């Protein structure tokens, strides 16, 4: 009788042994069992490894400054850290042992968008708004330790291969109802228009999902799957979500190449400025053209799946975790700890 009980207990993930006021965010997965966690007190921020199964919290890096942005490389062996202090902004690359491998001064103390090259771990995009209208989009080449300007009409270009990247030009449409998909090449600086009527997209390995408003129903968003890229493999329509008439795209995640696709979807068309909406976490089935619901969620927050598809991070700070087998939502940190 005691064996099943023990087995059941093993599957309950541990909570972070941190005070809630010291918790900044969960950055992401380092492995199926281990998370990278960002914590801090005053102007001293820290990165930890956290093992969900053992509950062990291990110090990885003490920044002795404020960490603004953190990103894990595709091979999980390096972490980019953006530091902000009185001397100005700096990028640092930390290895899996917590050692600083590389540093580079940058001109901004604002939050960065980061996209790491999936093939070449020495290349990544950083981008930010310099002024309200001016975007800075650059490639950091770690071999030369230089920043090179990149051509993109979007703040979030996404690497497709070692040299190619994709972005959407929304043609100055604030509502994001129109757009064209472009491919850029870092070797030639050439841009090629690939597809019209694409207002946003999700890309992971060879899986590409484009987002575009439905031509037939004002309250629907069309998700078109291409696998491999540029080979159509079906579509799904989902309820459209907007905020002040601007499209809000669904958060999607995939465990790895050929993995199942999951997302957070509204149960009905929702205008977020008028109502908070009802959302659910579900699996996309492009063969049946349906979402297979798994669990209700409070809002349309980001998600990130483990390679083994057992757990999925959820929340604006990844402060929750979805257990796919149990179909339950767990908080990763005790929310009331600060008041106890």
* pTM passes above 0.85: yes
pLDDT of residue 8: 45
Report the distance separating Cα 100 and Cα 257, nearest Å: 30
Is residue 206 within 8 Å of 227, Cβ to Cβ?
yes
Instruction: Give CA–CA dist 179/164, Å, rounded.
Output: 19
Q: How far apart are CA 104 and CA 90, in angstroms?
A: 6
- Closest listed residue to residue 153, CA positions, set 111, 132, 114, 184: 184
Q: What is the DSSP letter of 5?
A: H
Look at residue 7 in the predicted model and tell me its pLDDT.
43
- N-term to C-term CA, the chain: 36
| DSSP structure class, residue 326 | T
Q: What is the pLDDT along the chain (340 residues), one digit of tens a residue?
A: 444 444 444 567 899 999 999 999 999 999 999 999 999 998 899 999 999 999 999 999 999 999 999 999 999 999 999 999 777 799 999 999 999 999 999 988 889 999 999 999 999 999 999 887 789 999 999 999 999 999 999 999 999 999 999 999 999 999 999 999 999 999 999 999 999 999 999 999 889 999 999 999 999 999 999 998 899 999 999 999 999 999 999 999 999 888 899 999 999 999 999 999 999 999 999 999 999 999 999 999 999 999 999 999 999 999 999 999 999 999 999 986 444 3
């Amino acid at each position: 009788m005691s064996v099943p009980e023990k087995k059941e207990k093993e599957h309950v993930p541990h909570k972070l042994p941190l005070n809630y006021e010291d918790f900044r965010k969960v950055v992401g997965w380092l492995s199926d069992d281990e998370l990278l966690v960002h914590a801090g007190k005053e102007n001293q921020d820290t990165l930890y490894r956290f093992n969900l199964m053992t509950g062990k919290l291990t110090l990885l890096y003490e920044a002795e400054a404020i960490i603004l942005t953190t990103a894990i490389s595709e091979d999980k062996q390096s972490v980019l850290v953006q530091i902000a202090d009185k001397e100005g902004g700096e990028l640092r690359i930390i290895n899996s042992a917590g050692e600083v491998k590389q540093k580079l001064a940058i001109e901004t103390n604002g939050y960065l968008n980061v996209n790491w090259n999936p093939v070449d771990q020495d290349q990544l995009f950083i981008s930010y708004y310099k002024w309200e209208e001016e975007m800075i989009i650059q490639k950091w080449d770690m071999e030369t330790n230089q920043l090179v300007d990149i051509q993109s009409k979007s703040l979030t270009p996404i690497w497709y291969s070692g040299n190619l990247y994709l972005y959407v030009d929304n043609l100055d449409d604030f509502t994001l109802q129109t757009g064209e998909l472009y491919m850029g090449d870092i070797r030639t600086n050439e841009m090629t228009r690939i597809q019209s009527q694409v207002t946003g997209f999700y890309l992971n390995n060879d899986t590409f999902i484009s987002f575009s408003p439905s031509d037939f129903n004002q309250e629907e968003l069309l998700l078109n799957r291409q696998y491999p890229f540029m080979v159509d493999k079906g579509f799904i329509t989902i309820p459209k979500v907007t905020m002040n008439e601007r499209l809000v795209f669904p958060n999607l995640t995939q465990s790895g190449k050929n993995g199942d696709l999951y997302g957070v979807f509204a149960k009905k068309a929702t205008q977020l400025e008028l109502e908070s909406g009802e959302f659910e976490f579900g699996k996309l089935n492009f063969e049946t053209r349906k979402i297979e619901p798994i669990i209700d969620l409070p809002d349309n927050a980001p998600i990130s799946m483990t390679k083994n598809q057992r757990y999925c991070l959820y929340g604006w700070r990844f402060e929750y975790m979805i257990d796919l087998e149990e179909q339950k939502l767990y908080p990763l940190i005790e929310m009331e700890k600060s008041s106890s």
